Amino acid sequence: MSETMTKAEAKAGKKKNELVETIVVIIEALAIALVFRTFLYQPFSIPTASMQSTMMIGDYFVANKWAWGFGKNSFPLPLPFSGRFLSFDSPDRGDIAVFHNITNEDYIKRVIGLPGDTIQMKAGRLYINGTMVEREQVGSGTDTDSGMSAVPVTLYLETLPNGVTHTIQEISDDQPLDDTAEYIVPAGHYFMMGDNRDRSADSRVLRQVGYVPFDAFVGKAEGRFFSIKNNLPPWQLWQWPANVRWDRMFQGVDQNYTSTPAP
């Protein structure tokens, strides 16, 4: 009888040890994932049309969290401090950045204006410090937003003053945000715009976005790792054959910038 009890106790003890080891492994894995997400790279997805066709609805990408150091919004829960630490660089014109907006949401836009710049839209053309930014028409397409509203658009290559070239798309040059007053970017702030110029709420809308403080930056968008049409959940594997955009996977965020917008 005692021998039987000893074997049973040994078996129970072994199972308990295995359970403890499993829990420890899970906790360690979660801790590693949390550190990776907080200090190295964080995944995001694109839910709206504001950056099309550079970043399509349904694109999944990673943002480099250490490119510009860490601010209070770099962490899973905002921390009560101001400024940035370990910041050895700052956003440059043309960078695509994730930032925490005044609406308490994470936005993704392109850096257009630096601190001290004057930005203005006149007749659909972008002016930086009084000089019209070059653009070249490269095609046309159809832009579909998250509400499945489709409109024809014209694609342009826009060249910023520092030589960065990227695609933008326009419905026309007479949309509501195509003629604005001058914006003077305050010190420590940036002027952000979407590449889908007529379907982007960005720094041109001061009450919704406005000038973005450096403290609000979360990370620099760098690489797409997945893309699926119609904002379908990635876990719906049966939808992949007809809807995954295989040609947009494992690329830099600005690659294929001359491609026609996908429906």
Q: How many CB atoms lie within 10 A of CB 115?
A: 15
Instruction: Give CA–CA dist 61/98, Å, rounded.
Output: 11
List 53, 65, 74, 109, catalytic entry: 109
Cα dist. 117→85, 129, 132 in Å?
25, 6, 13
DSSP for 3-31 reads: HHHHHHHHHHHHHHHHHHHHHHHHHHHHH
Cβ atoms of residues 175 and 164 within 8 Å: no
Coil, strand or helix at 64: strand
Query: Judging by beta carbons within 10 Å of its beta carbon (0-12, 13-18, 19+), is residue 175 exposed, middle or buried?
Result: middle
- Residue 11 sits at φ, ψ, to 5 deg, of -65, -40
- Comparing C-alpha atoms, which of 254, 221, 253 is closest to residue 99? 221
Instruction: Give CA–CA dist 123/120, Å, rounded.
Output: 10
Is 109 catalytic? The answer is yes
Q: Residue 137 corresponds to which amino acid?
A: Q
Catalytic positions are 50, 109
